[in-house]
Amino acid sequence: MNSTTLLAFDALLLISTVSLAWASLASSDERRGVILFMAFGLLLAMAWSRLQAPDVALAEAAIGAGLSGALLLSAVRREPVGLSRTGAEPVQNHEKTDYRMTLRWTVTLLCAAFTATLGWAYLSALSFGPHDGLPRAIAANLEASGVSNPVTAVLLNFRAWDTLLELAVLLTAALGILALGKESPAYQPAGVVFEGLIRWLVPLLILTAGYLLWVGAHAPGGAFQAGATLAAAGVVLRLAGRHRIGLPAGIRLRVLMAAGVGVFLLVGLVLMLAGRSFLGYPPALASLLILVIETAAMLAIAATLVLAFAGGRPQTDVLANTAVKLEASTASGPGPARPAGSGGTSNDCIPEKKAC
């Protein structure tokens, strides 16, 4: 009875996930597509938790559904004219339509080939007989890893290299975002109700991030989930029209973004100097070192994600500030540089000037 119910639930979950994915792709309205994508992400998180992978489920819900959704929505907002789809507009140019059809079919065929490859890989992995070698090896060495959550043990100890490189990928992405120029225009200031919400929501998100980071040592959680939760605080602040969204200015922002890779490398190098292998933690110190690395990684991940949501260099940045100063001094002269009622982006930073 119980297993039948679960099977029915899984079937329902599978059907809803695939239908939502299809609906999201087929939607002619970008905003609707993004919202369906977020719902798809939440169902996918549920699927991961049904597969008994709560760490992945948390990451999928926080990053896949939450932050990616916010990023996509802000991209839709930035794009003034909708990217119209083939079916939505009258056919004007036969060559263009042909090109689009070819593109569409090429993408479809490539996706089908990819799915077939994945299916083949899965089936051939199944035919290799018992595949519990890796879980057993992890369980046998868990004691020495410094943490009791096997996922954190793999990410931060056994395969710490991979996580280091992942953080390096994130750092590269952050550099790319900085190269995009100024951030997108700020949102309008929040009204009373939203302001009241963020007053306690932001501290709660920060607290939750700290909790997820700490609990990652022995239960689902860790730097990525905590970083995404911390970034959500920045996203909420930005949505409420705040000038400061938790990102420091200038050189401190760069230091923060590089903190994940930097601390990771530093720990590795110090261990090498002490005569151990790169990132080969001594078991007595492992749990402390993992916590230090994860804290730095969480801050770097959160900074990168918030930066991605801002879509460029924050206006509180030193470089942006000098540009704003120049703009303000040429535009309004020596008078009080705060014309009432104007919500332009150049004025948004003037309170920050005093701080700098």
Exposure letters 253-277 (e unless 16+ CB within 10 A, then b): beebbbbbbbbbbebbeebeeeeee
H-type alpha helices, 216-250: 223-239
User: Between 153 and 235, whose beta carbon lies closer to other proteins?
Assistant: 235
**DSSP type of residue 316:** T
CB of 265 to other proteins, least distance (A): 37
CB of 61 to other proteins, least distance (A): 13
- Residue 201 near other proteins by CB under 8 A: yes
- Residue 116 near other proteins by CB under 8 A: no
Q: Which of residues 180-199 bind other proteins (CB under 8 A)?
A: 191, 193-194, 196-197
- Residue 1 near other proteins by CB under 8 A: no
User: Between 192 and 284, whose beta carbon lies closer to other proteins?
Assistant: 192
The residue type found at 300 is A
Q: How many residues bind other proteins (CB under 8 A)?
A: 8
Alpha-carbon dihedral angle through residues 277, 281, 284, 289, given to the nearest 10 degrees: 150
Task: Describe the crossing of helices 192-215 and 286-310 by its angle, rounded to 10 degrees.
Answer: 150
Q: Which DSSP string corresponds to 57-93?
A: HHHIIIIIIIIHHHHHHHHHHH-SS----GGGS----
Q: How many CB atoms lie within 10 A of CB 196?
A: 11
Contact 220, 54 (CB under 8 A): yes
Cβ-Cβ contacts under 8 Å for 138 (sequence gap 6 or more): 150, 153, 154, 158
CB of 193 to other proteins, least distance (A): 5
The residue type found at 70 is A
CB of 186 to other proteins, least distance (A): 17
User: Between 106 and 188, whose beta carbon lies closer to other proteins?
Assistant: 188
> Which structure tokens are listed for 355?
């701080």
**Farthest CA pair distance, the chain:** 79
User: Between 191 and 343, whose beta carbon lies closer to other proteins?
Assistant: 191
CB of 232 to other proteins, least distance (A): 12
Among 124, 129, 200, 330, binds other proteins (CB under 8 A): 200
CB of 322 to other proteins, least distance (A): 35
User: Between 23 and 201, whose beta carbon lies closer to other proteins?
Assistant: 201
Q: Distance between CA atoms of 188 and 238, rounded to whole angstroms?
A: 9
User: Between 42 and 300, whose beta carbon lies closer to other proteins?
Assistant: 42
User: Between 175 and 197, whose beta carbon lies closer to other proteins?
Assistant: 197
CB of 194 to other proteins, least distance (A): 6
> Which structure tokens are listed for 226?
């905590």
CB of 198 to other proteins, least distance (A): 9
Cβ-Cβ contacts under 8 Å for 315 (sequence gap 6 or more): 182, 183, 186, 243, 321, 324, 345, 348, 349, 352
User: Between 191 and 282, whose beta carbon lies closer to other proteins?
Assistant: 191
Residue 277: strand, helix, or coil: coil
User: Between 133 and 191, whose beta carbon lies closer to other proteins?
Assistant: 191
CB of 197 to other proteins, least distance (A): 4
Q: Which of residues 203-232 bind other proteins (CB under 8 A)?
A: 204
CB of 54 to other proteins, least distance (A): 14
Q: Distance between CA atoms of 23 and 33, rounded to whole angstroms?
A: 7
Structure-token match 């919202």, residue found: 35
Q: Distance between CA atoms of 182 and 208, rounded to whole angstroms?
A: 30
User: Between 196 and 344, whose beta carbon lies closer to other proteins?
Assistant: 196
- Only one of the segments 111-119, 132-140, 200-208, 255-263 lies at the binding site for other proteins (rule: CB under 8 A); that segment is 200-208
Interface ranges with other proteins (CB under 8 A): 191, 193-194, 196-197, 200-201, 204
